[in-house]
Structure 1
């Protein structure tokens, strides 16, 4: 028996429940976790925390923690927990949509999305979340506590990190990563006002390129959906402004635009050039990229 590992296997659900318990029963941990995630010292009051919260259209959040800030604002953190499972395409985007739906339904006034994973997973992550917290950060927190229970928690999460090292299978597509990196570098150099997202490793199906033209505001984003052949503004969680937004674009005559509701958001889309990601390198479609970037710039002028 002494030669056996304490744990036969640690699953993501095991880690979910450990973190859920700590958030609900340990005020020091809850304050530390929120502070670590937001990068700001926080004194919060936990309102509730839930595991495996599903939405019929937008998918599942591994954990949701709802808390009241020092200013009395009810906020939420939607947490995706990963050990070694492959990321789903646009998973980070769906987390954001679920957060916006919570605002629209009055569940919370503000939210952030969080990827919680071993650092090696975060380094390879292909999905966009507002913030990232590593297992190693939480392990370090528990290791600073003197009680045996915290030391057990640290050892438990360390075993999950070791599982990640043993079992991670990279899903990064080198071709898509190189294409997106070249694209984002091109925009940063020639259209810096679009404020392109940071280049990161990508899976083969991750073909959306994001721009954040309004500094420090992520609820209005311009997206080039390459395979979808569209450049669009997405007004996240602003469906109640549909008439106002539609009116703003009524008199645009030099672009063919489609304005519509999309769930709790509003989108304004323009047709983009065809790009064959399976066959074309970035250099082969530089003209199409220039056209798409020019479209994004034109759309920005209406914000």
Structure 2
């Protein structure tokens, strides 16, 4: 008898089983991700609802190369539930901890959801999920994989789950967050116009913001400033690059308080600053935000001063991981 109501947990367990016992599915899924070059890697473990102090990952699928090194897919599964504020960024933070510790060599972030859900997400809400696979994509794979009752059941289950999508992501707004960022915008406009900060509405308790001055490139490598206020650092990020290779080219040129880090698929030139929280209010956070804006301004100036060297190092260190 068909299961009438589908929950995200049902999809999590269905996918976890397929990753562990169905090599064809595991290889196909990997081929659809940004780790598609990891041909021959095999699934060795799957974490379901893996929780850390940074939050919970619905699925972490660990693949092992022939050399023994591991890569992983971090998968968020959605049917109806809206994405929570900073949820995508917390996936990146969890993965970065494993990359920094040497447990993983490369990662990708995957959003699995009905096609309508993915389409309904506002611009910027799911940028960190660099791979998006719809339930319809998964169903089509199972339907094409064979005529077995099992494969057809999987396809039908996923199609029915896709039809359950009725709601979409909703931004949570509150007055305290807007008041905080209104004050921050006034500060940036008055003292740090180099940031070219725009005034907009922020998600409740949002502390991660991005600056991209108009002269910052998007090709051949995208360059942005990421201010992660609750973490206490500001990054000058170069997309799809290797921090190790950039460090080799730039280590003699970096100021003592700037360090290079691998952040997902990007290399980040980082300055540490005091952390803050929206809940504490603007009066408590003003000093930390001022320090963060000053660090962001320094990174923008540093990029402009050394643009040719930095971009040459970024292009030469392009990462395929």
Task: Give TM-score, length-normalised by structure 2.
Answer: 0.60
**Cα distance, 1:269 vs. partner?**
6.5
Deviates more, 1:98-107 or 1:203-212: 203-212
1:138-185 deviation per Cα after TM superposition (whole angstroms, max 9, x unaligned): 0100111211101111111112111113xx1441589xxxxxxxxxxx
List runs of 5+ in structure 1 lacking aligned partners. 175-201, 251-257, 272-290
Contact 2:20–2:43, Cα closer than 8 Å, also in 1: yes
Q: Paired residue for 2:109?
A: 113
For residues 21 and 148 of structure 2, what CA distance do their matches in structure 1 show? 15
For residues 72 and 95 of structure 1, what CA distance do their matches in structure 2 show? 24
**Cα distance, 1:213 vs. partner?**
5.7
Q: Which has the higher contact order (CA 8 A, sep 6+)?
A: 2
Q: Paired residue for 1:79?
A: 75
* Cα RMSD after superposing both structures: 4.5
- 1:54 maps onto 2:51 in alignment: yes
For residues 31 and 83 of structure 2, what CA distance do their matches in structure 1 show? 26
**Cα distance, 1:293 vs. partner?**
9.4
Contact 2:227–2:234, Cα closer than 8 Å, also in 1: yes
**Cα distance, 1:120 vs. partner?**
1.4
Q: Paired residue for 1:146?
A: 147
How does 1:82-93 map onto structure 2 within 5 Å? 82-93=78-89
Q: SS at the partner of 1:9?
A: coil
For residues 159 and 22 of structure 1, what CA distance do their matches in structure 2 show? 18
Q: Paired residue for 1:16?
A: 12
**Cα distance, 1:204 vs. partner?**
6.5
- 1:208 maps onto 2:187 in alignment: no
For residues 86 and 80 of structure 2, what CA distance do their matches in structure 1 show? 17
Q: Paired residue for 1:96?
A: 92
Q: Quick one: structure 1 residues 270 and 221, their matched pair in 2 at CA, closer, same or farther if it must change by over 3 Å?
A: farther
Q: Paired residue for 2:286?
A: none
**Cα distance, 1:81 vs. partner?**
0.9
Q: Quick one: structure 1 residues 103 and 216, their matched pair in 2 at CA, closer, same or farther if it must change by over 3 Å?
A: farther
Contact 1:49–1:64, Cα closer than 8 Å, also in 2: yes
Number of positions where the alignment pairs a residue of Structure 1 with one of Structure 2:
242
For residues 230 and 102 of structure 2, what CA distance do their matches in structure 1 show? 35
For residues 269 and 71 of structure 1, what CA distance do their matches in structure 2 show? 36
- 1:158 maps onto 2:159 in alignment: yes
Q: Quick one: structure 1 residues 299 and 173, their matched pair in 2 at CA, closer, same or farther if it must change by over 3 Å?
A: farther
For residues 294 and 65 of structure 1, what CA distance do their matches in structure 2 show? 39
Q: Paired residue for 1:194?
A: none
List runs of 5+ in structure 2 lacking aligned partners. 174-201, 275-293, 311-321
For residues 147 and 39 of structure 1, what CA distance do their matches in structure 2 show? 29
Q: Quick one: structure 1 residues 132 and 210, their matched pair in 2 at CA, closer, same or farther if it must change by over 3 Å?
A: farther
